Amino acid sequence: MSTPKIVQKAPFALELEAGTYFWCSCGESQNQPFCDGSHKGSDFKPTKFVLEEDKKVFLCGCKHSANAPFCDGKHKALD
């Protein structure tokens, strides 16, 4: 698997607490948008990100953002 699975063509809008998170880059996690280890055995790795304060974030759901784990609007151009 070298192309990520498109989970949804919209971002995940979440209110997150300060802390460390691991965003799923493969699209196979059952705990979207976060990693559950489903990438094991593939070329994908989760993307670690840290929030210094509680914050509303828009995490990429299409898995094609150039600004992963955050949405950059790329989902609008996908078929």
Q: Alpha-carbon distance 55 to 5, whole Å?
A: 27
53 vs 9, 19, 24, 63, 68, CA distance in Å?
A: 27, 8, 21, 24, 19
What is the pTM (predicted TM-score) of this model?
0.94
pLDDT in tens, 25-58: 999 999 999 999 999 999 999 999 999 999 999 9
For the record, the structure tokens of 36 come out as 């559950």
pLDDT in tens, 8-27: 999 999 999 999 999 999 99
